[in-house]
Amino acid sequence: MTGFTILTVCSGNICRSPMAAQLLSVGLSRWPGVTVASAGTTALTGYPMPEQAAALSRKFGGDPSHHAARELTAQQLLDADLVFGMAREHRRAVAELAPRAIKYSFTIREFARLMADIAGNDLVDVAALSLSNIPGRLSTLVSLAATQRGSVAPALSPEDDDVIDPYRRSDEVYDGMAQQLVPAVETVLSLVERAATVTG
């Protein structure tokens, strides 16, 4: 394994998934083998981000200037090592399009919830790998998250695993999207940092 690819998925690929991808890209830039992309299940192909979403991405450190929406394909899912749907409907779409990808697909808030209480001793298998093997370490982290599905209590409400869709809605809804998405991205970045640097 020479690299590690994260794919973020929403509906139109103009608000939630590109913002997630842009923030993850910035946060993961120190790991050159890690790449991030986004796509949409019903993409507004070629469209840029709406100004409200672009402004929020810039506010939190992202760069929306080159984004153009693209349609999700089965090949993108099969080429990815970790897929973050922005809501449960996107995880279901992943399962329909590329069933094999469901084992490494989560909503981004679900992933953050499942991994919230990971302790150092949970990362033994990660720490056993060479510090230079970032893709292997991150793949092991994803496998750990998958095992958490059966042992961590479900969200109090299923909607708690979703990021709200703000498209064509008020600025307040866009702000609500950011309030749900940004903490989940920060949790992912923290986990990657731990997985990339932990030693036995």
- State how far the Cα of 38 lies from the Cα of 20, in Å rounded to an integer: 8
Q: What is the pLDDT of residues 70-95, one digit of tens each?
A: 999 999 999 999 999 999 999 999 99
Q: Who has greater pLDDT, 119 or 134?
A: 134
**Looking at the predicted structure, is the pLDDT value of residue 116 above 80?**
yes
Give the distance between the most distant pair of CA atoms in the chain: 49
Answer whether residue 124 shows pLDDT above 70.
yes
Q: Is 68 exposed, middle or buried (0-12, 13-18, 19+ CB in 10 A)?
A: middle
pLDDT tier, 156 (very low <50, low <70, confident <90, very high otherwise) = confident
Report whether pLDDT(193) > 80: yes
pLDDT at 155: 80
Spell out the domains of the chain, with CATH numbers in brackets: 4-197 (3.40.50.2300)
Band (pLDDT 50/70/90 cuts) for residue 146 is: very high
CA-based end-to-end distance of the chain = 22
Q: What is the pLDDT of residue 1?
A: 59
Q: Spell out the SS3 assignment of the chain.
A: CCCEEEEEEECCCCCHHHHHHHHHHHHCCCCCCEEEEEEECCCCCCCCCCHHHHHHHHHCCCCCCCCCCCECCHHHHHHCCEEEECCHHHHHHHHHHCHHHHHHEEEHHHHHHHCCCCCHHHHHHHHCCCCCCHHHHHHHHHHHHHHHCCCCCCCCCHHHHCCCCCCCCCHHHHHHHHHHHHHHHHHHHHHHHHHHHCCC
150 or 93, higher pLDDT: 93
- Is the predicted pLDDT of residue 102 greater than 90, yes or no? yes
pLDDT at 152: 85
Higher-pLDDT residue of 131 and 2 is 131
Please give the residue that has the higher pLDDT: either 2 or 190.
190
Phi, psi (deg, nearest 5) at residue 35: -120, 150
